[in-house]
Amino acid sequence: MSLHIYPAKYHTKEYFIEGLTVELNGIYYIFLRNHLVGKKALKVLAHELIHVQQYYTGRLKKVDKQNFEFEGRVYTKKLDIENNVWEAEAYNYQAKLVTKISKQLP
């Protein structure tokens, strides 16, 4: 698996709020807004890492420009990005991942 993390200046999606994960041909890209620092940056990174896990395990797939598939069900891009099942899962687990990561930091 290959993972790349970039500042947001390299991505311009209109719905991109603080973080965005993209999977292209088995390579994962995380884009983070430049203004994020400290615990907020770690929280957003943890959230996006959960999306990497969703893509990597095949539970989340981008079907085409307008649709995503999560656990076998297709969702339209027009679905509220804050209220879909894969986002809900990422929000639910991000705090646990932040705790795990924080314990590894000096």
**pTM summary value:** 0.84
Cα distance between residue 58 and residue 54, in whole Å: 6
Q: Where are the domains of the chain?
A: 2-104
The angle formed by the CA atoms of residues 65, 58 and 79, to the nearest 5 degrees, is 40
pLDDT in tens, 61-106: 989 888 889 999 988 876 665 568 999 999 999 999 999 999 988 8
